[in-house]
Structure 1
Amino acid sequence: MSWLLALHSSSSALGVGLRDLDADPGSAGSGAGAGDQLKEFPLGRDLSGALLDCVEAVLPARQWPRLARLAVATGPGGFTGTRLSVVMARSLAQQLQIPLDGAGSFLLIARRLGVDRPTWLVQELPRRGVVAGLYGPDAAALGGMGEWRAPRLYADRQAVQALEPQAPLAPAEVAVIQDVAQLLELSALAHRQALPGPWEPVLPQYPTAPVAV
Structure 2
Amino acid sequence: MSCQPGSSLEEDKAFLLLALHSSSETLGVAVQDCRDPKTSRRTATFPLGRGLSNSLLNCVEELLPAASWPQLARLAVAIGPGGFTGTRLTVVMARTLAQQLGCSLDGVSSFALMAPRLAVALSHEQMEQPFWIVKSLPRRGTVAGRYQLQMAADVGAAKAVVELESPHLLAEDFKAFPALDAQDDVAKDVEHLLELCAVAHSLGQEVAWTDVLPVYPTSPVVVSS
TM-score by length of 1: 0.86
- Percentage of identical aligned residues: 52
Q: CA deviation at 1:6?
A: 0.4
1:160 aligns with 2:199: no
For 1:1-213, list aligned pairs within 5 A.
Answer: 2-23=15-36, 27=38, 34-114=39-119, 116=127, 117-138=129-150, 139=152, 143=157, 144-156=160-172, 159-161=174-176, 167-207=177-217, 209-212=218-221
What SS is found at the alignment partner of 2:221? coil
Q: Report the Cα distance in structure 2 between the residues aligned to 1:110 and 1:179, rounded to whole angstroms.
A: 10
Contact 1:108/1:182, CA 8 A, preserved across alignment:
yes
Contact 1:128/1:155, CA 8 A, preserved across alignment:
no
Contact 1:39/1:177, CA 8 A, preserved across alignment:
yes
Contact 1:12/1:43, CA 8 A, preserved across alignment:
yes
1:78 maps to a residue whose letter is G
Contact 1:16/1:39, CA 8 A, preserved across alignment:
yes
What SS is found at the alignment partner of 2:139? coil
Contact 2:43/2:187, CA 8 A, preserved across alignment:
yes
Contact 1:132/1:160, CA 8 A, preserved across alignment:
no
- The count of residues paired between Structure 1 and Structure 2 equals 198
Q: Report the Cα distance in structure 1 between the residues aligned to 2:90 and 2:117, rounded to whole angstroms.
A: 21
What SS is found at the alignment partner of 1:160? coil
What SS is found at the alignment partner of 1:200? helix
Q: CA deviation at 1:113?
A: 3.0
Contact 1:71/1:183, CA 8 A, preserved across alignment:
yes
Per-residue CA distance 1:20-63 (angstroms, 9 max, x = gap): 11125xx4xxxxxx532110000000111111111111100011
Contact 2:109/2:166, CA 8 A, preserved across alignment:
no
Unmatched runs of 5 consecutive residues or more in structure 2? 1-13, 121-126
Contact 2:118/2:180, CA 8 A, preserved across alignment:
no
Per-residue CA distance 1:8-31 (angstroms, 9 max, x = gap): 00001100000111125xx4xxxx
**Cα RMSD (Å):** 1.9
Q: CA deviation at 1:4?
A: 0.3
Moved over 6 A (4+): none
Query: Of the two, which has the highest radius of gyration?
Result: 2
1:126 maps to a residue whose letter is P
2:209 maps to a residue whose letter is W
Unmatched runs of 5 consecutive residues or more in structure 1? 28-33, 162-166
TM-score by length of 2: 0.82
Q: CA deviation at 1:119?
A: 1.2
